[in-house]
């Protein structure tokens, strides 16, 4: 039984990076993936089940009246392969630790994704991305348990339906439990240094022939300067997605607000900057009680200490309303709001 730990009326405050003091009716921690089926047998069929990884992409508005399942298995297994080794990682491994491990092993590809909070199992769910890279570019397959049938399945990237901060796991939230992610990690891979700030950092440090570890250092330094660290102040990174709008809508925004950043995606769509719009609405660095928007980055909703989930959500609503009123665009939360 040592592979599973269960507790009742468990606090989740240390299990969500927003630091909200909520409780779960039951918390089941699975230390070895072999025990997953046994753990699921303990979950009442009619009660809500939430699989919680690093808790870095969730806002709890209230207590969770059901079972929270936390996978703590962190095993990594490597098998050599063509075009890159196959690296199989259990869902409970910490993402940033895994990125650093991959760099230490001499793999390339994950360097732009350093310092993203959360677990490996959560990475495919929102298809984590930063500085021009998305994790889906290196995912070979995702091992899941189908919650309806309790069967284990291996999903291909196509079956995962990856998109910008999106996947099947986000769209059909109660269908699968991610238990392992299989990466194909090359030792040689073109670096991405074109995202704002990365090349500049390399130039400033006189690095003309960067290695993956140099890019990781550049990204780490940029993230530390721009994003508040959840270890210091509760947050879930970007609280809203950058809205993808029609090119004509983007042009209309540009005509009215010539400084607004617009990133064309294709002939018909462009991505706008939610952070810029929130800052333009005057909300950057503001707070109401302990809920606020970071003074470092307007897109980051922060908990200065004791904010409740409802207080944080009402602050988020202020940004949604302000941006909609000014730009006619409705921001969508990026984390799961429960």
Catalytically active residues, by annotation: 165, 238, 334
C-beta neighbour count of 225 within 10 angstroms: 11
The owner of tokens 């994704």 is 113
Minimum distance from CB of 131 to ligand EPU (Å)? 4
Q: Near ligand EPU by CB under 6 A, which window of 43-51, 141-149, 246-254, 296-304?
A: 296-304
Q: Near ligand EPU by CB under 6 A, which window of 5-13, 152-160, 238-246, 308-316?
A: 238-246
Q: Does 170 bind ligand EPU (CB under 6 A)?
A: no
Largest CA distance in the chain: 64
Q: Does 44 bind ligand EPU (CB under 6 A)?
A: no
201, containing H or E segment: helix 198-204
Minimum distance from CB of 295 to ligand EPU (Å)? 9
Q: Does 125 bind ligand EPU (CB under 6 A)?
A: no
Binding ligand EPU (rule: CB under 6 A), the pick from 284, 291, 292, 303 is: 284
User: Are 219 and 131 spatial neighbours (Cβ–Cβ below 8 Å)?
Assistant: yes
Q: Tell me whether residue 215 is exposed, middle or buried, using C-beta atoms within 10 angstroms of its C-beta: 0 to 12, 13 to 18, 19 or more.
A: buried
C-beta neighbour count of 183 within 10 angstroms: 25
Q: Does 297 bind ligand EPU (CB under 6 A)?
A: yes
Minimum distance from CB of 144 to ligand EPU (Å)? 23
C-beta neighbour count of 274 within 10 angstroms: 23
Q: Please state the separation of Cα 262 from the chain's center in Å.
A: 23
Count of residues interacting with ligand EPU (CB under 6 A): 20
Instruction: Please give the residue ranges that form the binding site for ligand EPU (CB under 6 A).
Output: 130-131, 195-196, 226-227, 237-238, 241-242, 261, 273, 275-276, 279, 284, 297-299, 334
């Amino acid at each position: 039984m040592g592979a599973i730990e269960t507790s009742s009326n468990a606090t989740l405050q240390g299990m969500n990076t927003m630091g909200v003091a909520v409780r779960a009716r039951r918390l089941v921690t699975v230390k070895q993936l072999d025990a997953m089926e046994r753990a699921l047998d303990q979950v009442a069929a009619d009660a809500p089940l939430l699989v919680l990884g690093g808790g870095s992409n969730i806002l709890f508005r209230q207590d969770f009246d059901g079972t929270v399942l936390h996978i703590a298995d962190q095993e990594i297994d490597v098998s050599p392969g063509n075009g890159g080794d196959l690296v199989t990682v259990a869902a409970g491994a910490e993402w940033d630790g895994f990125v650093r491990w991959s760099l230490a092993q001499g793999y390339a590809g994950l360097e732009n994704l350093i310092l993203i909070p959360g677990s490996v199992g959560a990475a495919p769910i929102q298809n984590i991305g930063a500085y021009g890279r998305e994790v889906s570019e290196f995912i070979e397959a995702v091992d899941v348990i189908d919650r309806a049938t309790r069967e284990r399945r291996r999903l291909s990237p196509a079956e995962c339906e990856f998109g910008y901060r999106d996947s099947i796991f986000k769209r059909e939230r109660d269908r699968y439990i991610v238990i392992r992610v299989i990466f194909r990690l090359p030792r040689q891979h073109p670096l991405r240094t074109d995202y704002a700030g990365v090349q500049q950092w390399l130039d400033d440090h006189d690095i003309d022939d960067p290695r993956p570890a140099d890019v990781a250092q550049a990204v780490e330094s940029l993230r530390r300067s721009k994003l508040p660290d959840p270890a210091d102040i509760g947050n879930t990174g970007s609280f809203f997605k950058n809205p993808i709008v029609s090119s004509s809508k983007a042009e209309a925004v540009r005509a009215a607000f010539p400084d607004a950043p617009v990133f064309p995606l294709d002939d018909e769509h462009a991505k706008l900057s939610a952070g810029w719009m929130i800052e333009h609405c005057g909300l950057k660095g503001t707070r109401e009680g302990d809920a606020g928007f970071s003074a470092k980055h307007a897109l980051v909703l922060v908990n200065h200490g004791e904010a409740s989930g409802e207080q944080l959500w009402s602050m988020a609503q202020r940004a949604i309303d302000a941006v909609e009123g000014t730009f006619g665009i409705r921001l969508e939360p990026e984390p799961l709001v429960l």
